[in-house]
Structure 1
Amino acid sequence: MKIRDRLKRINFEKRRVSFAPKITQQTLINIATVIIGSFIFAIGVNSFMIAGNLGEGGVTGLAIILYYAFDISPALSNLVLNSILLAVGFKYLSKRSMYYTIVVVILTSFFLWVTETWHVQSDEILVNTVFGGMFVGLGIGLIIRIGATTAGTTILARLVNKYMDINVSYALLFFDLVVITIGLTVMTLEQVLLTVIALYIATKVMDFIIEGMNPKKAITIISDHPERLGKMINSEIRRGVTIMNGRGFYTQEDKDILYVVINKNQLTRLKRLIKRYDENAFVVVHDVNSVLGNYFI
């Protein structure tokens, strides 16, 4: 009885639990990007690479090898092999990335099945090589750009990027070359070499999509006239400038160092203006992969 009385006196707070998933506008954009990227990737594989009797990298490359050797549908083998590798991805990659990747695996396998008979026949094998590389690189680039992967060796490439800070595109190229070497068992040396060209094109296109269409440059300027150059960059280039304190090791003199991030297409103009205002200025140009923050457009 005492326990029952105590329970009656306790004011239990009623909580409303909502199981409705929160779908934002960005989520819808990401899903649309994944669908488009998967479709473009499938066209590149079926319409150009397989149509030209070429190979591919990663799990898709293994699926093509199985297709050439045993006539197994690339859509089926792509789904099975990637499903196995997804277990590795769940352990080492973020859950958000892997959820998108599951969707990618299903969509790429589906589109590989839909486009199985979409073959672009050409007397010039370089047409298949170039456009196959472009379509594959564009598709994978769109998928990776939103934080997903195409599973397979892309998971391994993202792991290398995460723990060794190596560019995803070039890590992927390395793993793809391993698969291409295995492709010598079912393809001629010429076909393998053309596949390597296609993979290189895919890597450059992918890099372009991931890094952005308008790469940035970071400029470090050491000058005897930092105020003049800073005002010039503000007024004529319309970029904010950071002034850092520095000191020459040999002279032990204090120096103001200017640091600014600009669009690549502004670099030539900035160099010309720096030379006009201080031709003795020491200028270092750095490549910038990405810029975060609300102060840069």
Structure 2
Amino acid sequence: MKLNALHVINAFVRLGGTGEAAQGLGISQSAVIKSLHQTEQELDLSLVATVQGRLTPTPEAIELTRLARPALGSLRRALHEADMIRVGMADRLRIATVPGLAHSILPPAIASARLALADSAAVEVVFDHVRDHLVADDVDLAISYGPMAIDGLLDVELRRSSLVCVLGQEHALANREALARADLDRQRLISYGPDGVSRSDSFQAALAQSGLADRIAITVRHTDTACHLAREGVGIAVVDGFVISSGLTEGLAIRPLAASPLVTAYAHHRDGAPLDRAARILLDRLAEAAA
């Protein structure tokens, strides 16, 4: 079976239909159906069922996709690397991070590292699934709310911050110097949702210890989204204090959450293999800023 056929099956299963798969792949629906039928004949498996006049994946197609997930991951990475080579970024510093830290501690560290490298380092930043990127060796360095605590990966503690509340200047609570847990009881809260991958997440742990984990009404992935929602009066954003350095809170009120547990930012890289010069300089800049 060709990789392209596996790519079609995966889109069919993931999106739930031939029309959706065609749209996702940017090809015609007839091409998707033809590829599926050819693969059925080649493998002697039933991949397509007709349910109420609609073509849907069979259990065999779903199981095949599950078993082929590693190969699909390799294919995606190969296609991505081909794109990077095409645009002249084969040799680059690859960083995985979570959006919250990408908006705060990472940009000044990248700027400082590029100055140290005479602005010669190409940089690629990818978001989320930090652990998966590290384990697959897709990135040189990662930053998260960790720790990962995984064999073969090193966790480097960078800095700590309490939780803060971000709200509009006109909000009734904006005149307080600090907000207590009880002040948030009848408020609509906005915060980061779990990424569904990390085994340990100091931000989610801080939310839970503050008694706020089950009080979040709106979950977001990006800090700017949380701040924009607070600016529009939708609610109060509960984020880490690293955001203060980002500039995203300009024009907003930032109030500490009283008795907040600490959130810890970590850097991660693979153990046993030395970091290249660009990654080492970036890690040094992150550590210097923490000090």
Asked whether the two chains share a fold, i.e. TM above 0.5, the reply is: no
Higher relative contact order (CA 8 A, sep 6+): 2
Please say which structure displays the higher CA radius of gyration: 1
TM-score norm. by structure 1 comes to: 0.25
Q: Could you say which structure has the higher helix fraction?
A: 1
TM-score norm. by structure 2 comes to: 0.25
Q: Could you say which structure has the higher strand fraction?
A: 2
